[in-house]
Chains A and B, each alone.
Chain A
Amino acid sequence: MTSRRTMLQTASCGFGYLALQSLCQSNAHAASAGPAMPARAKRVIFMCMSGGPAQMDTFDYKPQVGKKPHPGSAFKFDQHGESGLWVSELMPETAKHVDRLCVINGMYADTGNHAQSFLQMHTGERLRKRPSMGSWVSYGLGTENENLPGFVSLNAAKPSVYSSEFLPTEFAGTPIGTNGEDMSLATIRDISGSHLPQMAKRNQLDFVQSMNRDHLAARPGDTKLEGVIESMELAFRMQSVAPELLDLSNETEATLQRYRVGKKLSIGTCRPTDFGRQCLLARRFAEAGVRFIEVNHGGWDQHKDHRRDLKANCETVDAPIAALLEDLAARGLLEDTLLVWGGEFGRPGLTPDNGKDETGHNEKGFTFWLAGGGVKAGYAHGRTDETGSRAVEGKVHFRDLHATILHALGLDHNELAFHHGGRTHRLTGPDEAKIVHELFA
């Protein structure tokens, strides 16, 4: 006995904003919504590189020009693939997949303050807590797998970046391993228990649910109590799916090798995050139909020992990224999975051969790349100036990136809104955001 209200209030039925739009036209935030846009992608994997990856030593090649030495790329670059995109020597494995990448070189942000820019990258707002992009996406699309939450965040930095804030909490990210926890062991809390065999647990839940239904029958019309009954069923179903999803023992040794699962490099700012396990889990969650999967590797904030620490960071993420791209492509998932790679800002370049090995933050120009999900492959968009100090062409702000990601999913960033606290909120905030149409094939 599920009421329409409960259906909309619980995540277990797969209802998102799009479905809601057609179902309840009178609903305030959906009232003005036009027809749904075509969706290129069905889900997102966000590879969050916190700390500010050095774009000029990864994907934005800035060779020396003119006679006077100037800041630029400190590492060697080569052109790769048919597209001939430039990739630094630090990313040899990813470089093999360069023809799948859609590189945005003209990113810019509002601030060089880590915490604020990190929040803005996730929520569109740098000063106040707002729903995370993953929450907006699962709110917009609903869930594809009724046995799993719509948004998971691996090695999550902090609750404010996976929170649904004022969106219904069913759209909150489910954290799997928090920052600082050993990711090799990270799991969903209490996902299993050995005190009873599964069959007995089902009996137990049946007993509970029968009491709950008696309790509800005496309290007709209480949608919250209905919601609990639904939610307990989802939890029960998650027990049957999630532990298996989190268990990598049925992956082949070769796969584990490709992803470098268990490899934990600890050099300077580069901290062990078992990024390989995260990427492999991301693939598995994507296959299982989770809408938004965030994986995290921190440590890109290499102020001192730039070269050494950057090398370690690249080494940590390079092979896992390549393995993920390869697997998604091989399984036909790359078509409808949008990969997003980047951090809260970039870094200024080093002037080669002058011995300086320190960098700072640069929010005026940096790089993101996308792959899959209907974006142009083997394409570079936008440009920074000759020293990479600022974006000069094809500039893309976080809010533009957000609008573009939503667009790929068939969601209109202006329509995907939620009324709260006296005004209407959007992921892209009050300022006008531009969809970067050039990025789509």
Chain B
Amino acid sequence: MALPAPHPALLLRPVIMVRKRFSALLLVLACVASTVEVCADEQRDFFETKIRPVLVKHCYECHSADSDSIGGNLLVDRRDGMLVGGESGPVVVPGKPDESLIVQALRYEDLEMPPEAPLPEAVINDFVKWISLGATDPRVDAAMPTPKPTGDLETLWSFMPRQVPALPDVQHRDWPRDPIDHFVLARLEQNTLEPTHDATPQTLVRRLYYDLIGLPPTHEQVNEFVDEYSRDAISATESVVDSLLASPQYGVRWGRHWLDVARYGESNGDDGLGRNATFPHAWRYRDYVVDAFNHDVPYDQFLTEQIAGDLLPAESAEQRNRQLTATGFLAIGSKPASAMNTNFAMDVVDDQINVVCTGVMGLSVACARCHDHKHDPIPTRDYYALAGIFSSTETLYGAAGNEKLTAPPTPLHELKSTWNESEAVAPDRTSPPKFPDNYSKQIDELSPSLHCKLDSVPDGLTVTPDASYSTETFALVKDTTIRGTLPEKTSSYSVSFWFKNSLKNDARPITAYLFSRAKFGDKTLPGDHIGIGGNHESTRSGKIFVFNGNEAKKTLSGSTVIARDTWNHVVLVRDAASIKLFLNGQLEIDGELKPAFGESTEICLANRSDNFAPLDGHMGEFALFARALAVDDAVHLHTASGQPRGVRPSPVDGYAMGVLDKKKPGDSKVHINGEGSKLGPVVPRGVLTSYRTALHIESSPGEDVVINEKESGRAALASWLVRPDHPQTARVMANRVWMHLFGQGIVATPDDFGVYGARPSHPELLDHLAERFVNEQWSIKRLIRAIVLSRTYQLASACDERVLESDPDNRWLARHNRRRLDAESLRDSMLQACGSIDYSPEKGSAIETVDALINWPPGAATNLHRESNHRSIYLCLLRHAPPKELVAFDLPDGVTVAGSRETTTLPTQSLFLLNSDFVVKQSRALAQRLLQHKEQDDADRVRRLFSLTLHRDASERELASSIDYVRTTEAAIAKTITQPDERQLRAWASLCQALLTTNEFRYVD
């Protein structure tokens, strides 16, 4: 039996072709073989007794025609299945056991099969023997099962190139205002429907305000618009649209839509082991997004910055910082714990693949991590081509709450305000410093309460165990504790000392503790602790920091990396709540740090107060001051030493989460079943390509994405995604924009343009919009402008019953959709109505200085939110601990891409409106606003209230029933609230609350 090894060309895709051709070939060979009788009885018996039973028992479950899903496209229940092989090529090469993949897999070499546990060696030896003898396989092959179709072409609509559709003909030619209207009307007419009437200007202006800036117009703005609309409807609408698009509130609204796609969150969310680490720098990405929308950054550039901003050239520090911050898109994902998780790195990669593919292309490729996607033409191979790009990328998410079990700490992008900083040469500090003779005297002139040169046994300090001393290198310490006391319980004090550290900065979690002021032995470490960062948190490695103990849990860090074996001078000045730390005469740390030492006067040197991470090195010229030294004095303590002053690196203005290319990029191997422990063949880095084959789309010149071996490939990926002819990118975004304006997408599943997703209701319209979007330089503002100025958008939401019955889901858009305010708009509208809103962007985040696990101790997370009257986008979006003002109304969890939000109706929402502190407080504020004008009567107040909340006049009936309601309520609470002013306030507040609760307030027509 001498079946030739299949020609490599036969193993290339398309698989379907190969299979067909090859089985035909086999059929011919089989006919020949039957006459020649190549299967000797003995060999046949060997197969039947030793090989077939093993295949049946251990392999058929996943690799036979009856399997639910055929693993790796490989069938071993037939001869040609083994010879042709699956995704990894043939598994049996007759006569060559070492080249046969099945033997390698059984030996658990590269592949590992069967996955549960290796088979006994004797069994493996049987396979080796069988293959050596020519792999006799008497099984008569049934016809190969018809390959599962890769999906019929209709289901792959989103992969087809975009069309430039001609304007359809319509009967009511005077109705359309924009090409958009032609497409919509054509569909309506096909379905024998006609558009309902235009919305009233009152309805239209409220809709425009909410859709474009997420806030309602004031009553005055409504009236003004109605007035102008009556003169010239079109120009009045254009002018209000243009002013809304130019408002900074526009970015707040539309930035938030993108944050839903970007699964934005300010903490990791539950890592599966109940831990939830803060992301103190995530807010910078939020600000980047708001800013990008306000500046109408072209969508292609917007995507490129988020995927490969770190690789783009920059011309200023500001631009560089912005582009680095943009890559936060890839770093803010929620990760499962790294503890006992060998797949952690791949989990991070998976999140990145998912946000890019789902967010940008509307394709869910996550399933392909484990198996070929059942219907979408995305094989596992394509997944790992992308995986190679992201596994060649370093993800900078930060300290992960200082808990390595949740995620290993990483550095962050450093944002600096200086551009082109020249690399300053750091002076050599490796030799012991030679101080001028009067140095000690000069220290003493500043009247320290204690000064020990540490060139001999010190007076006033206890050293355990004793150290050795010299005049050149001072005290030699290792596991040494040097203890003393401050003369008084002063809240301000200063210390000055020289030290040399001999340990590598990555040798242990903390390289060294140099000084503590804290009660000895207290495990909660109440006090100040100066240390040098180690490998616990790579952003602090080698940098000096001051930590104020486990209760307050705050750390201030420097930015200079202090090289091992160098001599450095430190002055710490604590002045009540503020800290200044000077390193070699330069201000290194300057900030607020809550004093935690209380009444304790205990200090220790070369160690921490609980004897942890003591300095391995030298310590000298220690001075302690019972007061905060002036800056000049602190600097003088160094200048007097005659040693070179420190060079300050340009300051880091802040940190941002993001990504960088790894130093050594590399391709990824297929992870069998998605597990890191079972690896398949290597796949070259690349983008999704297979669908082209599936659809027989010819590659055009230059279309092949080439990834430089020295790069991760993110830049190439980004430029592929934003190609004008990319089949999905523009369609997906145009659909997202449409969805936010209509409440439903042309494709109802905005994150799924694949086989499982919905089909477009108006495919030509979608292509028209996408085409227009690309041709208008990917301007989102222009796309929005075009849509909202269409007649379709400006339809009323009311319609006659026939339309409602024949198209209950409003698929054909004979009317506009009535929508509930989302969580943010609801809160913002309440703040605006009650007069408490602050429209300016809130700086930073409530947790910008908190690098910690937020759910321990229990309930801690709820204390982290801060009260704010800024717009809701600026509230702290902790995953799994969201702000309680928003949580009831379908806030996305920030874990997965959420292109569209749920709009549930739940009793917990009503409870929020009836009882929440927020609503009660805002209602009270509004009532105070109404009651402050003493000259007004109740009717005036009710009119004003309707104007502020519902932006319209109250009807006579409403006026009467409101006044009546206030009186009834005052009477009802008269017993419990005896103070008349308070009673009046409560009654009015309850009316205010009622109006804020109404559907009229919470729904937009």
Contacts and interface: CB of A to CB of B under 8 A. Distances in A.
A207 B999 contact: no
Given A195-B986, A196-B990, A204-B994, A231 B910 contact: yes
Contact of B756 (A212, A236, A421): A421
A236 B914 contact: yes
B993 interface: yes
B68 A430 contact: yes
B341 to A, nearest CB: 8
Contact of B907 (A114, A149, A203): A149
Contacts of B861: 180
Given A181-B858, A189-B884, A190-B916, A298 B961 contact: no
Given A193-B920, A204-B990, A221-B804, A215 B998 contact: yes
Contacts of A430: 68
B418 interface: no
Nearest to A185: B859
Interface string A117-159: 0000000000101000000000000000000010000000111
A24 interface: no
Contacts of B913: 232
A169 B904 contact: yes
B856 interface: yes
B998 A188 contact: no
A216 interface: yes
B915 interface: yes
A81 to B, nearest CB: 36
Nearest to B962: A207
B529 interface: no
B911 interface: yes
A329 interface: no
Contact of A216 (B804, B904, B997, B999): B999
B818 interface: yes
A24 to B, nearest CB: 15
A235 interface: yes
A210 interface: yes
Interface stretch (A222-230, A349-357, A365-373): A222-230
Size class of the contact patch on chain A:
35 or more
Interface string A170-202: 101010001111100000111111011101110
B908 interface: yes
A224 B902 CA distance: 13
A235 to B, nearest CB: 3
A114 B801 CA distance: 53
| Most chain A C-beta atoms within 10 Å of own C-beta, residue among B855, B884, B903, B993 | B993
A208 interface: yes
Given A221-B801, A224-B905, A421-B756, A232 B910 contact: yes
B755 interface: yes
Interface in A1-29: 9-10
Size class of the contact patch on chain B:
35 or more
A234 interface: yes
Given A207-B994, A208-B998, A215-B999, A189 B880 contact: no
Contacts of A232: 907, 910, 913-914
Contacts of B438: none
A62 B8 CA distance: 55
A188 B915 CA distance: 12
A224 B916 CA distance: 23
A251 interface: no
A197 B910 contact: no
B912 interface: yes
B798 interface: yes
B994 A208 contact: yes
A179 to B, nearest CB: 6
B910 A203 contact: no
Contacts of A267: none
Contacts of B905: 9-10, 169-170, 224, 227-228, 231
A12 B908 CA distance: 13
Interface in B981-1005: 986, 989-991, 993-995, 997-1000, 1003, 1005
B1000 A215 contact: yes
B880 A200 contact: no
Contact of A236 (B272, B887, B910, B1005): B910
A35 interface: no
A205 interface: yes
A157 B269 CA distance: 12
B914 A205 contact: yes
B914 A190 contact: yes
A189 B908 contact: yes
B170 to A, nearest CB: 27
Given A215-B1000, A216-B999, A430-B68, A172 B906 contact: yes
B952 to A, nearest CB: 12
Contacts of A234: 907, 910
A159 B895 CA distance: 11
A64 interface: no
B827 interface: no
B908 A188 contact: yes
Interface string B719-756: 00000000000000000000000000000010010011
Interface stretch (B28-36, B39-47, B869-877, B968-976): B968-976
Nearest to A230: B905
| Most chain A C-beta atoms within 10 Å of own C-beta, residue among B820, B861, B990, B995 | B990
A231 B997 CA distance: 13
A158 B888 CA distance: 16
A3 B991 CA distance: 29
Contact of B914 (A179, A193, A210): A193
Nearest to B950: A211
B910 A212 contact: no
A144 to B, nearest CB: 16
A424 B902 CA distance: 20
Given A193-B916, A212-B998, A219-B818, A235 B972 contact: no
Contacts of A219: 797-798, 818, 1005
Contact of A191 (B370, B804, B915): B915
A227 B910 CA distance: 12
Contacts of A114: 272-273
B851 interface: no
B575 interface: no
A253 interface: no
A170 B859 CA distance: 27
Contacts of B976: 197
A430 B374 CA distance: 14
A422 interface: yes
| Most chain A C-beta atoms within 10 Å of own C-beta, residue among B270, B341, B909 | B270
B274 A422 contact: no
B336 interface: yes
Contacts of B274: 157, 179-180, 298
Contacts of A149: 907
Interface in B888-946: 888, 893, 896, 902-916, 920
Given A210-B961, A212-B998, A180 B858 contact: yes
Given A182-B859, A200-B969, A193 B999 contact: no
A180 B859 contact: yes
A127 B370 CA distance: 10
B997 A208 contact: yes
A421 B376 CA distance: 14
Given A189-B884, A235-B907, 8 more contacts: A10-B905, A129-B896, A188-B911, A193-B915, A193-B916, A212-B998, A228-B910, A421-B757
Those 7 A-B pairs whose CB atoms lie nearest each other, nearest first: A193-B915, A235-B910, A169-B904, A115-B272, A235-B907, A180-B855, A190-B915
13 contacts: A169-B902, A170-B905, A180-B856, A189-B916, A203-B968, A207-B994, A208-B998, A219-B818, A228-B999, A232-B907, A235-B907, A235-B908, A239-B915
Interface of A: 9-10, 113-115, 127, 129, 149, 157-159, 169-170, 172, 174, 178-182, 188-193, 195-197, 199-201, 203-205, 207-208, 210-212, 215-216, 218-222, 224-225, 227-229, 231-232, 234-236, 238-239, 298, 421-423, 430-431
